[in-house]
Structure 1
Amino acid sequence: AEAVAKLLHDFNSEFDEPTPGPRALAERVRLLLSEGRTAILLGGAGPHGVAVLRFRPSIWTKGLECYLAELYVVPDRRGQGLGRALMEAAIELARAEGADHMDLGTGEDDVAARALYESLGFSNREGRPDGPINYFYEREF
């Protein structure tokens, strides 16, 4: 849990996003893993990368939905295939768990991530003539 927490803390820190810190994240990781709806994959010997998958029942199909909640590779290991390896392992795990699709979100400016996802068969439906424009809302409690 500590290695995962450090990577997730570094991820948010790199992009100037809030983080509760590695200790709180490690506790949260342990809790989520114990509930059985979250899977975490680590890559590299450091580890140098992490993928966090969240599974949920689907209202539309008998299969599960898999949400890629996080994918992070430390800066000095990017461009070496680790992100692709994590994604391929994530897709394999999602299928093995009974998911019938995976969804994820990324920023418009994250060109490398978008290229990776598209090379793995993910399709972006935003802004296409035949696709909707979705808005993602958030409210803190």
Structure 2
Amino acid sequence: MAKKGELRSDCPINYALEFLGDKWTLLIIRDLVFDGKRFYKEFLSSKEKIATNILSDRLKRLESIGILVSSVYEKQRTQKIYKLTQKGIDLTPMLIEIIIWSTKYKEGLNVSPEFLKKLEEDKEKTVAGVVEAISSRLKA
């Protein structure tokens, strides 16, 4: 067993799984990327019904590894606002590949047919558009 902070191996897939290997982590990143969620309560409203203790733990972990940053929300100083870092934004193509794979093997998933058509026509341009939208939100 690896010590805390150490990787089990130098395999690149292991590296990603050490940080992203549970479903809640990827769902939080999904909410940041595709739904523009930024507040703790917004994450709690996701259909998957994450428990508050798990959400709190995953947000702290994502911040500790540089996927997101939090800051005090100026309009309501008792709240934190969460934003993706560039490291987090760079996960967007991977999330989109998961969407493509999932919709290939399971019908009826909650993905807009228009989005899938755009991916089919020009995946690179579509991914770039999603990344640009995220970056624009972060500047606002």
| TM-score (norm: length of structure 1) | 0.30
Q: Which has the higher strand share?
A: 1
Q: Which has the higher helix share?
A: 2
| TM-score (norm: length of structure 2) | 0.31
